[in-house]
Structure 1
Amino acid sequence: MADDAGEPSTSTEADVGRMLREHRLERKMTLAQLAERANVSTSYVSQVERGVANPTLASLKTLSSALGITVGSLLQDERTPTLDSGEPGEVSVLRAGNRRRVVYPGSNIANELLSPNLRMQMEVIWVEAPPGSGSGGHPHQHEGEECGVVIAGTMRFWVGDEEWLLEKQDAIYFPSHLPHRWVSGGPQDLVALWIITPPTF
């Protein structure tokens, strides 16, 4: 059985900007090239890299996609503790308080990766989101399937043109290629458990 001894990881605006710049430079891309691929202004990319702008979760996904990586890869830092080797067939125990935790600047949405890494066949995420925060105004689409269950609070969830209000213990399951988005309905913080296959975080 594997265990971990690291500290939880959180990302500030400056951290996100630094890591965005590092990934961009690794790919020998200019600010203008990344901005064009992400369909945003060059000044916005510059502000994010300098820690001046607070990117939303949707913006981070757009910038990550333009770099050809996932949000998880964008936020992966060499200083982030390795929680577990997490090889297939092994048992991994990720203790509360010692998991990889990402707090998205500008939204205060927090994700904790409950699966050991992104090399598995699915990812399991603990989601915390204050009222009014969400995945962004533009729906997301990717290959695979998702299942989520609300533990506390409420979640407004859209798949295509359909909308649902999910309350405590409600669950939703859908193919991820359908456009989808969500918002924390309030008045209390949303807490949810999310499962995605294959991993896309």
Structure 2
Amino acid sequence: MSRLRRMSPRRSYDQYCSAARALDVVGDRWTLLIVRELLAGPRRYTDLHADLPGVSTDVLASRLKDMERDGLTTRRRLPPPGAAYVYELTGRGRELQPVLQALGAWGQPELGERRPTDAVRAHWFALPLLRALEGTGLVEVRLEEGDFHLYVGATDGPAYGEGPAPEDPDARLVMDNGICTAISRGDVSLADAVRAGRVEVTGDGTLAKALREA
């Protein structure tokens, strides 16, 4: 049986409405969170599974096949010595970034206090911080949970990445999880957190200067 035939048929609302058609493609559980992970660039299946706690291997494999069929992702094999398959967003898939940003902004009041059962990854704060930054440039963020970097204002390629910035960043932000969570919830603006000394800003780039002068 071909790989295409093994994919589950796409369910449809059967409504002639662009919102309904969009939900036909991305409305399944986990799909948009897979997009969130792939906004960091190509990811291996094992990396995706590790950063999507709660998803079963069967469901993840099924969603990835559906997303490839629907033109949101592609799968390619890395050259040796890696020789592993990675998944990455297509241009159509990357167009979902503002959708996720809008959904995240709408969901800020739902965050509340972190529950004991809530998983967290440092890079999950990437999209909220991207909403708080203006301009363009590379920003490194250091948290207790780990480091990640942001491609502020990028219109192509990854929106963020895990770990330290791959080159000298335009700005480096150091903060604790508490203030980063408060920024993500919308309790305080990034500029106010910088003025209050809750976020340390270093760097000589335009973004660093703008944050220190805000």
- In the superposition, the TM-score normalised over structure 2's length comes to 0.29
Which structure has more strand as a fraction of its residues?
1
Q: Give the number of the structure whose alpha-carbon radius of gyration is greater.
A: 2
Higher helix proportion (structure 1 or 2): 2
